[in-house]
Structure 1
Amino acid sequence: MSSPEPATPAEPARRPRGRPRDPGAEGRILDAALEEYGERGWSGFTMDAVARRAGVGKSTVYLRWQDKDSLLIDAVDARTGGIEDVDTGSFRGDLVELSANLFRHYLDPAGWATLRLAVDAAASPSALGTFSARVAEQHTAAVLAIVGRAVARGEATSDLPPAPLVFSLYGAVTMQTLTLSGSDRQLPDAEIRRRVTELVDFLLR
């Protein structure tokens, strides 16, 4: 009778090739994309520069985004997603909160980048990408939702045109932030709310 063969020790699990995934890389890349754009604009914006600023390899960026347009869309979506998330229970309250969120955003480096995105897209003779349209869609959808709730509550009539409201509200906030520079951009929250409340009350009149 033959003796049993000695048991073969189990092979250790193989580690996947390449570097382990960095759980914080995506957030750093999105932040770096907006910072890079805010400084250099469309013509100077490159995926390689974003990778250097984020402290990751170029392959990490290219594996997630195929071009700078798709990267900028995701960066804008990630950093503006909470601006329109308002529901105070009143038409006036929603407009004030939306305007205050937008004002704070524009005073942030990420907000400056989104402003530059819009300006570059408007000034270019050819389409730069779809990111500017994405921003406009987000803002319009937010105001449509606010107007819809106001109509349902009886605070506004169904013929209230949302487009002029979007242009008036966002345009006024944008112009106010563009007139600020240096230390003037460090506005306390109470001052931001005072300014936007004054604006909303003027529009509603």
Structure 2
Amino acid sequence: MERRPGRPREERVTGAVLSAVLDLVAEQGLGAVTMDAVAARAGVSKPAIYRRWPGKHDLLIAAAETRIGTLSVPDLGDFRAELRAVLDARLQAYRMPGTVQLLAGLIAASQEGGEAQGAYRRYVTRIMGETRKVLERGIARGDVRAGVDVRAAATLVAAPMIFRLVIEQELPDEPFAAEVTDMIARAVGAPA
């Protein structure tokens, strides 16, 4: 049998594995995610998983990235509108089943040190990239104060939603996102 070009079988395995992780987390929590359980749920072999993700933390981060990954917010000409777009996109992801368990597990795993901690930091850097870009665009346009610490401001954007979801164990909603948008815009906005 002749093979067709491309790697559709490989893509199917990747998708099946990541879906299996998300399903297991949503149904049974992070503790249910073992390589055996993921392989059985995805219908793939453990070696197929290990070829893509050398460890459980890599697998969890890859699954998280399918749920809470990088964003692309177009230049809307207004910092507040772009900030709200970031928060609305995150709000949608946070509402999906298993997201709170996944985030809580990643936060806990990041404290283990070693490679897990480094992988988690790289993931956070990637997912915070668009927020930093939105802030930098706002500075360039003049609707965000010049000299604002972009990293600190990006943390300020992410922290309220994560805290509400993971620590307070309450699902953030649109009014909360609107209030956070308003508070951050006032905190970092350029004077009128």
Q: Normalised by the size of structure 2, how large is the TM-score?
A: 0.75
Cα-to-partner distance string for 1:95-150 (whole Å, 9 max, x where unaligned): 111111112212213532441233313554x4461342133202332221011111
More helix by share: 2
Q: Answer whether contact 1:95 1:200 (CA < 8 A) is retained.
A: yes
2:162 to 154, 174, 199: 174
Structure 1 pair 36/116, CA: closer, same or farther in 2 (3 Å)?
farther
Give 2:106's aligned residue: 118
- Once the two structures are aligned, what percentage of the paired residues are identical? 25
Partner of residue 184, structure 2? 203
- Counterpart code for 2:78: S
- Letter of the structure 1 residue corresponding to residue 128 of structure 2: T
Cα RMSD, aligned residues only: 2.9
Aligned length: 178
- Determine the C-alpha separation between the residues in 2 that align with 1:136 and 1:80: 10
Unaligned stretches of 5+ residues in structure 2: 187-192
- C-alpha deviation, 1:158, in angstroms: 2.6
Gaps of 5+ in 1: 1-12
CA gap of 1:27–1:117, structure 2 versus 1, over 3 A, is: same
Are residue 140 (structure 1) and residue 121 (structure 2) matched?
no
Q: Secondary structure at the match of 2:109?
A: helix
- Post-superposition Cα deviations, 1:46-83, rounded to whole Å, max 9, x if no partner, equal 2221111222232332333332233233323333235x
Residue 98 in structure 1 maps to residue 86 in structure 2 = yes
Task: Name 1:10's counterpart in structure 2.
Answer: none
The alignment partner of 1:109 has SS state of coil
Q: 1:149 aligns with which of 98, 117, 137?
A: 137
TM-score by length of 1: 0.71
Q: Distance in 1 between matches of 2:97 and 2:21?
A: 11
